Every structure is written in C-alpha cells, then in structure tokens.
Structure 1
Amino acid sequence: MVQRAKEKARRPAGRLKEQPAAAQTPEARVKALEQERDALKADLDAARQRIAALEESRSAVANRIDWVIESLSGVVDRED
C-alpha cells in the first residue's frame, strides 16, 4: 500500500501572510514591499558571499590536485 504524507505542505517561514490588497493602505503596502526587498537583498548578498567562498575553495582544491599530479609524475619519471 502507498503511504500518504502525514504533514501538509508548509509555506516558507520567511513569508508573511498578506492581507487582501483592498484591506492594505498604500503606505502599509509600500512598507511591506520595502521590507521584502530588503530581505531579498540580504539573501542575495549572503548567497553571493557563499558562492565566492565556494569558488575560492574549489580553486584551492584544484590547485592542490594539480600539485599532487605533478609530484606523482615527477616520482614516476625518476623511477624510469
């Protein structure tokens, strides 16, 4: 038998429940949009920093692998 999921799908924690557009004042809507924009900018900055760290790490690993390959080929060449 197929088991059904026991939990309902949840909304992401960062999202706020929005009021209908007619219930919001223009000032409240602008403020909510500005807050959302600021949160998205912060998320984007964090993602960019993470990407930069990952690229730096990848580069260090690639350089280390190149060094190992060169060292091993040097050992093999000396044995011939």
Structure 2
Amino acid sequence: MLPPYEGRPYDIVLLNPERLLFAFRVIKEGKLIYARDMERITDVMEYVSRRYADLYPRYRAALEEIFVGVMAGGPGS
C-alpha cells in the first residue's frame, strides 16, 4: 500500500488514452505528481481532449435515451 500523499490516499495507474471517459476525468480532476516526458504528457492531453470533444455529445445523447427508456418503463426497468 502506498503512503498518503498530502494526507490523502492515492493510486498510480498507467493512463490508457483509449479509455476516453476515464482519461478525460483524470486529466481534468487528477494531479500530476511526476513527469519524465512533459511533451508526451501534453500530446496525450491534446489527444484525449480532442477525442472527448468529438465523443461526449454522442455519449450524453445515448445516456439520455437510456434514461428516458428506463423512466418510461422500457427494457431493463
């Protein structure tokens, strides 16, 4: 187990930019504590941000469609 960092527990993960929603959340809410290659990090941030901007509207529409179906008593409710 890792000791707390600034009084908080943490975990180290390899960020897979293809797991777009998770990667975007890490970039948005996470805290960078070490960088060996800052150019690589900015490349990944740019890649994830651009792909997220393309994907998020469709993701949000799909969630809304599922939610409306569940609220209307559709499949899976």
TM-score bracket for the superposition, by shorter chain length: 0.3 to 0.5
Tell me: higher relative CO, structure 1 or 2? Use CA pairs within 8 A at least 6 residues apart.
2
TM-score (norm 2): 0.35
TM-score (norm 1): 0.35
